[in-house]
Amino acid sequence: MTKKLIVLGYFLCSMITIAQTYKPVDTADYIQRKAFLKNFEGNNEVTVKRLKSQYSGKTGTELSKIYKEFGTDFEKQVKNKDFIFKSEFEASIHSMIQRLKKNNPKVPQDLKILIAKDNTPNAYCLADGTFVINMGLYSWLNNEEQIAAVIAHELGHKIEEHSLKTFLKIIQQDELDKVVVDNIKSTTTSRSHSQNQKAFDILKNRVYKKGVERRQSEMQADSLGYAIFKNSDFKKAEFVNALQRLQDFDTISPRALKVETYKKLFNLPQQAFNEKWMKKEDFSLYNYNFYKEKLNKDSLASHPEISRRIEMLKKTFAELKTPADPEKPTDLFVALKKTARMEILPNYFHSEDYGLGIYTAMQFLQDEEEEKYYKSWLGKCFSKIYEARKNYNLNRYLDRIEPKNQSESYQQFLNFMWNLSLDEIKNIADFYQANETLAKVN
């Protein structure tokens, strides 16, 4: 959820005007989904058989199990309409990949494209050549060149088979750990602090080693990805510009919600605003420094700091040392960027992040953006929150307060939401849903 919150930082920093008659992207693509699933299932079976024959014994068995489980999980995501087919996004990505294939024979020729209804700026490539692009890349990056840079980086992972290598190392490490654990048991007659410490040291060393290997993979994917990128007809400096934009994703914070925004949105004709809703839980007596960190977070990080990645690229490729302003986006990119922005609420709703959907809608409404559109989503999300509260499963859709990991603004929002009674939530939901119905009639 923390990453999802960070996404808001950029989305809410600028105003983009779109007609209030905007309709969410249509996911009534049953025929395309059915065809994709049929091909994916067949391709995954071929991959599993190939790995089982390529790696004998337990390694082959474990690998085939991993890829079978992954395939099953991915198919569920497709059936859940987590992806969209035959869209302008797909055409845009296909055009970029065609450009990346120029002078790059290592780039797989059978890449298939899927656009994910996900607001985080990310992409990944599957074993069968399915390339997944999150819609959030269009909201976050500045132009097609930067999206192509992200794709090139992921192609670096694909060409080097980093995922497969990671799985192989995990299987190998599991076997080594079992031997060490058996040795600990045989040399210790009773369960003691010493035995527990030895076991923890095994875990710690394994996690640290995994972190180092994954950071090395990221650096390698950067170098190979840039080599692919510069061999094509993209502007070289945009590879670094893309990384700098992704660094913003890790550091930027969303603007705070004002108390006046709560009062404006929730002082209703049938339910006056109650100051008690804004009461905060006091965490000042909690001593969060009492327990020392047993694992070093820097050693656990799977992605090295982007500043280090940029530094390494500039050190390796001299032409990247000279900074350049971002290229001007095409009209198609601008249109897709606007669409991606308007899909933020539908995407959160689809992923059942109803609490975050309310928080996001309030941010947009505070900026006076598309009032009718975002008020309608406010009503939809509150309606789902009401159902969850009534069924005693609100924790599934609304975060608990974590002072160390959340901004002051988001903590205030969560206090507000948890302070509302069941009837008060229903009144808010009914009000905004009634307004949506009235707006449609008019």
Of the candidates 9, 190, 292, 232, the residue with the CA atom closest to the CA atom of residue 99: 232
Both tokens assigned to 26: 């249509």
What is the distance of C-alpha 340 from the center of its chain? Answer: 14
Residues facing residue 83 across a β-bridge: 116
Flag whether 360 is in a domain.
Answer: yes
What is the rounded CA–CA span in Å between residue 209 and residue 408? 35
Parallel, antiparallel or unpaired: strands 130-134 and 83-84? unpaired
Q: Could you read off the pLDDT of 339-360 as tens digits, one per residue?
A: 999 999 999 999 999 999 999 9
Q: What DSSP assignment string belongs to 373-423? A: HHHHHHHHHHHHHHHHHHTT-GGGTSPPP-TTTS-HHHHHHHHHHHHS-HH
The pLDDT of residue 13 is: 46
> How is residue 139 written in tokens?
């909201």
Residue 414 belongs to some domain of the structure: yes
Classify residue 244: in a domain, yes or no: no
Query: Alpha-carbon distance 332 to 400, whole Å?
Result: 40
For the chain, list residues with pLDDT below 50.
6, 10-19, 189-191, 288, 290-291, 295, 297, 299-302, 441-442
Is 263 within a domain? yes
Cβ proximity of 25 and 339 under 8 Å: yes
As a whole number of angstroms, the distance between CA 276 and CA 87 comes to: 46
Q: What is the pLDDT of residue 438?
A: 58
> pLDDT tens across 241-298, in order?
999 998 887 666 667 999 999 999 999 999 999 999 999 877 655 554 544 555 454 5
Do 131 and 51 contact (CB within 8 A), yes or no? no
Looking at the structure of the chain, the number of domains it has is 1
Domain hosting 350: range is: 259-290+339-441
Q: How far apart are CA 76 and CA 98, in angstroms?
A: 29
Answer whether residue 13 is part of any domain.
no
Give the pLDDT confidence of 205-224 residue by residue, as tens digits: 555 556 667 778 899 999 99
Look at residue 41 in the predicted model and tell me its pLDDT.
93
Residue 114 lies in a domain: no
207 inside domain: no
pLDDT, residue 85, reads: 85
pLDDT of residue 196: 58
115: part of which helix (H) or strand (E)? strand 112-116
Is 343 inside a domain boundary? yes
Q: What is the pLDDT of residue 5?
A: 53
Tokens of 413: 């929002």
